[in-house]
């Protein structure tokens, strides 16, 4: 059962690679892939996918790692091929922003409403009786609302 499932999945991989390579051909990019095909993202980690792509396309194939474009101090967590697509898109966005600064606008910060800081309640002298203290609290609240 596992062998049959493996054969079915392998056949689907080959179909997908054939379809992608067909799109590369009809787009005119086939001859522009001088250095071969770079697989990125989490799917690039599928066992033996690199070899299958190379076999089907006849092109040199490698797995793209995001640390190829990041500084030495980059976080170890983004070194996995599953982050290479995201890192590439971010880098492309920065490149676009540098080339087209007039098309990039910064959002204007929203004006914050003034916040009122509650004042600390006034100390009530301790020589007052409990009834007098409660009366004073309510009297102070009434004065503040007027």
CA separation (Å) from 68 to 77, 84, 118? 14, 9, 54
pLDDT over 90 at 145, yes or no: no
Given CA atoms 94, 100, 105, 106 in this order, what sign does their dihedral have? Answer: positive
| Helix residue ranges per DSSP H, 31-129 | 49-57, 84-99
Segment 55-112, tens digit of pLDDT: 999 999 999 888 766 766 666 667 788 888 888 888 888 888 888 877 777 677 777 7
Least trusted range by pLDDT, from 46-55, 93-102, 115-124: 115-124
In the prediction, which pLDDT does 74 show?
62
Mean pLDDT of all residues belonging to the chain:
81
How far is the C-alpha of 133 from the C-alpha of 114, rounded, in Å? 33
Backbone angles phi, psi at 110, to 5 degrees: -75, 140
Given CA atoms 124, 129, 132, 137 in this order, what sign does their dihedral have? Answer: positive
Percent of the chain topping pLDDT 90: 36
In the prediction, which pLDDT does 87 show?
82
In the prediction, which pLDDT does 83 show?
83
Percent of the chain topping pLDDT 70: 71
pLDDT over 80 at 43, yes or no: yes
């Amino acid at each position: 059962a596992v062998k049959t499932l493996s054969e079915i999945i392998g056949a689907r991989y080959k179909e997908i690679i054939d379809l992608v390579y067909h799109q590369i051909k009809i787009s005119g990019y086939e001859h522009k892939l001088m250095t071969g095909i770079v697989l990125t993202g989490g799917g690039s980690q599928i066992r033996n996918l690199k070899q299958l792509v190379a076999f089907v396309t006849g092109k040199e194939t490698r797995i793209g790692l995001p640390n190829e474009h990041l500084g030495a101090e980059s976080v170890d967590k983004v070194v996995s091929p599953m982050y290479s697509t995201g890192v590439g898109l971010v880098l492309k966005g920065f490149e676009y922003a540098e080339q087209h600064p007039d098309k990039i606008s910064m959002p204007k910060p929203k004006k914050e409403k003034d916040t009122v800081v509650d004042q600390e309640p006034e100390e009530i002298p301790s020589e007052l009786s409990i009834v007098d203290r409660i009366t004073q609290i309510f009297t102070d609240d009434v004065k503040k609302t007027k």
